[in-house]
Amino acid sequence: MPLSVKRSALWSWRALLPWAIGVVPLVFGLVVMNWQIERELRASSQATTRQVVEQVERILDNLAQAAQALLPLAGRPCEEAQLALRGEVTRNAFVRSTNLFQHDTLYCTSLFGDFDEPVDASDYTDGTLWLMDGNSVTPGHALLVYRTSSGDRGAISTADGDHLVTALRLIAPDEDLQLRVGNAWMGSDGVVHHGQPPAYPVADVTLGSTRYPFSVHGGFTAAKPGELLRSHYPALLSLLLLLGVVAGVVCRWQIRRANSPRAELRRALEADEFLPYFQPVVRKGDYRWAGAEVLMRWNHPHEGLVRPDLFIPYAEHSGQIVEMTRALMLHTAQSLAPYAALLEDGFHIGVNITADHCRDLALINDCQTFLQHFPPGRVRLTLELTERKLIEATPATLELFEKLHEMGVMIALDDFGTGQSSLNYLRQFKVDYLKIDQSFVAMIGSDALSQHILDSVIELSGKLGLGIVAEGVETETQRDYLARHDVDYQQGYLFARPMPAAEFLQALATRPGVARLPQDAPPEIMRG
């Protein structure tokens, strides 16, 4: 029910909320799944680093065993020890070479026999372990070196970097792992680096060995949780998406229901937002106010005063117009009754009634309640029925109009000339007045054919003994033309626009020839 042209802010809020609600289950589900995945990744990272630590310890156990076995030979001539050096290489699966040193010089190796190369204890973490990025035999190829000593003599055993790479790659193929010894570290590509290793964004775990000076570092890239989410939870994701859509649709439906014209009109009715406005009807000759038409206005909390043609069609469609008219009649009676002295006897009060209101005898009660507010004969209630929507002549409706007639309630056929009522219709429903539609009045002085219709209507009403009201009178030319053709009543902006009750009463009070004011008239009326 568009009540005005601009509704942007409210609309955007209404349009966005279902989307926001729809996204909630998805976001909530994603947060929970992400948390779950991170927990799983951390557990997996802890398990794999432990396994790698154990595997590297196994390799080092081999190296330590070989070096310890050879330590007693350190300082002895190389040709004497060489066979034992080679024997340890053969016996220990992970040992690639064994060596003896004395006085910081490596003097015997399993590969070459006699040798001469300096040995620096400070290269070794805790004097025990060195992660080398290659030696003279295999430059650029990682090597893990174990050193043990007794005084200035000692034994050294080495393991090939490939054993380490195998441990790092095979234990957890989809996890990033590093082996760290001192300030050297090696990833699963087998390349040895020096300095601070990169931290892993997800499930970063570091586990040190309790037996050797090294640690293993594991974790995952930032993209890993997303990959797992897509590959492990497609069904759950689809379910969340579906839940989101359902939540969004339900929310949209609820908003629409809460803001439906029906709900909005019900709210307005309960908040008493429908007000009567009054437009005077003047009589021929002296143009004094002979009555007024009650026109409904909606005093909307956001939209201000709303015109009836913007909401009456919805009220008619939903059937709420009957209740609204009842409330309007009550409002009108309560506003006018305290100042009934301002009204001349037989003052016409015209109320617009829809066909639906004429279905049963409830309308009789409504009219009685209205009239009971006034001294007998003070007002003449006129029900205006539009010719656009004719009433069906059933026994019930005919009885209703008979009773209305007996009560002295008048019937005016509104918008006359725009519909298809017959003479029989006018008679059956005991029509007292014809209200000539303003479109015909607007043609006065311009369109010959319309003017001819207007003349015929005036003539017809005279012959049928019906009163005639011309509405929409805006110019003096129209006023004078209608006066010349003996039209009984006129209504239009030329005389007065529809106005609120207080203004209407104030205007009534200040008109010349008006009856005395009641003692309890409100100050705004007295001032006027």
Residues near ligand C2E, by CB under 6 A: 279, 295-296, 307-309, 312, 321, 325, 328, 352, 354, 384, 386, 414-415, 438, 471-474, 491-493, 498
Length of the chain: 528
Among 45, 325, 335, 352, contact with Ca ion (rule: CB under 5 A): 352
Tell me how far, at minimum, the Cβ of 439 lies from ligand C2E, in Å.
10
Contact 445, 432 (CB under 8 A): no
Tell me how far, at minimum, the Cβ of 337 lies from ligand C2E, in Å.
18
Tell me how far, at minimum, the Cβ of 240 lies from ligand C2E, in Å.
50
Query: Which residue lies nearer to ligand C2E by CB, 159 or 295?
Result: 295
For the record, the structure tokens of 501 come out as 């009750």
Query: Which residue lies nearer to Ca ion by CB, 52 or 436?
Result: 436
Secondary structure in 3-state letters for 498-523? CEEHHHHHHHHHHCCCCCCCCCCCCH
How far is the C-alpha of 435 from the C-alpha of 383, rounded, in Å? 11
Tell me how far, at minimum, the Cβ of 334 lies from Ca ion, in Å.
21
Is residue 354 at the binding interface for Ca ion, with CB under 5 A as the rule? no
For the packed helices 8-70 and 161-171, what is the interaxial angle rounded to 10 degrees?
A: 140
Contact 432, 382 (CB under 8 A): yes
Backbone phi, psi, residue 359, to 5° = -75, -35
For the record, the structure tokens of 358 come out as 């004429």
Contact 296, 352 (CB under 8 A): yes
Tell me how far, at minimum, the Cβ of 437 lies from Ca ion, in Å.
6
Query: Which residue lies nearer to ligand C2E by CB, 62 or 279?
Result: 279
Ordered alpha helix ranges (H), 112-233: 161-171, 224-232
Query: Which residue lies nearer to ligand C2E by CB, 245 or 494?
Result: 494
Query: Which residue lies nearer to ligand C2E by CB, 156 or 282?
Result: 282
How far is the C-alpha of 209 from the C-alpha of 57, rounded, in Å? 8
Contact 360, 324 (CB under 8 A): no
CA-based torsion, 238, 242, 243, 247: positive or negative:
positive
Q: Which residue's Cβ has the minimum distance to ligand C2E?
A: 492
Query: Which residue lies nearer to Ca ion by CB, 352 or 506?
Result: 352
Is residue 415 at the binding interface for Ca ion, with CB under 5 A as the rule? yes
Tell me how far, at minimum, the Cβ of 274 lies from ligand C2E, in Å.
8
For the record, the structure tokens of 439 come out as 């479109």
Query: Which residue lies nearer to Ca ion by CB, 66 or 412?
Result: 412
Calculated CA dihedral for residues 251, 257, 263, 267, nearest 10 degrees? 0
Distances (CA, A) of 223 to 49, 189, 372: 20, 20, 81
Query: Which residue lies nearer to ligand C2E by CB, 444 or 473?
Result: 473
Per-residue mark of binding to Ca ion, 228-267 (x: CB under 5 A): ----------------------------------------
Restricting to residues 360-399, name those near Ca ion by CB under 5 A. 384
Quickly tell me which residue has 């001032």 as its tokens: 527
Is residue 414 at the binding interface for Ca ion, with CB under 5 A as the rule? yes
Contact 275, 504 (CB under 8 A): no
| Residue 110's binding partner out of Ca ion, ligand C2E, none, with CB under 5 to 8 Å set by partner kind | none
Tell me how far, at minimum, the Cβ of 26 lies from Ca ion, in Å.
54
The residue type of 348 is H
Tell me how far, at minimum, the Cβ of 438 lies from Ca ion, in Å.
6
Which positions touch Ca ion (CB under 5 A)? 352, 384, 414-415
